[in-house]
Amino acid sequence: MIELRPFAQLGKANHGWLDANFHFSFAEYRNPQRVHWGALRVWNNDRIAPQSGFPPHPHRDMEIVTYVIKGAITHQDHLGNQGRTEAGQIQVMSAGRGIQHAEYNMEQDETELFQIWILPNKEGVPARWETVQFPPAARDGRLVPLASGRGHDGAIPLHADGALWAGTLKAGQTIRQKLGGKPAYLVPAKGMIEVRGGNGAPVTATARDGVAVVDLAEIELVAIEDAEIVLVETDMLN
């Protein structure tokens, strides 16, 4: 199954400094048909105004991945971690037994990012934060695991049964991604793609649309125009 979830139909919240769009139920947006996808619990597309951001707030027992599309985000937490993550990079926070953190756009222009939460496979782990510089060229023409609970080399470890992949395709390029029937959710951060798999009709997704996939051994991604793609694949929930 491949299901398109158009950006226009996502949950919405605009707080002035924050323009948020929710692929799954979050905050005051409640949709019983969109609570999670496998172990993927949250996928928010946030646009954050310059010199603003999320003040200190707590989390527990969640794997939180931030993928920056445009601009940069600056992180601080009660453990003493602080750092800046730029466009095309990710930061991973294991909330574990508890963490209090803040995320600010300290730039002169708007920052856009995906905030992605994955349910952990183990609760009460030590809280942590990590960011890594991933060479953009390594993602040309393919999806690369940037964060993973499956032991992928070079990926930031996750306490979760899943992985986050990202890559860029030039118009006309095609790649295949093996899924083994597990749930996957992908969003083009930029551009337009066609998603093919099984016997169903191809699905065309433009920037910020969501595509939910399940029960397919693999999918084929075709770039209709230059595209940047983020994909999360996880196990089913028991």
9-to-5, 6, 43, 142, 208 alpha-carbon distances in Å:
7, 5, 14, 29, 11
Residue 137 confidence (pLDDT) above 90: no
**CATH code of the region 11-134:** 2.60.120.10
Residue 83 confidence (pLDDT) above 70: yes
Residue 114 confidence (pLDDT) above 90: yes
Q: Dump pLDDT digits (tens) for 23-60.
A: 999 999 999 999 999 999 999 999 999 999 999 999 99
Q: Which of 103, 146, 140 is nearest to 232 (CA)?
A: 146
Domain boundaries, the chain: 11-134
Residue 147 confidence (pLDDT) above 90: yes
Contacts of 225 (CB under 8 A, 6+ apart): 171, 191, 192
Q: Do residues 198 and 235 lie in contact, with contact meaning Cβ atoms separated by under 8 Å? A: no
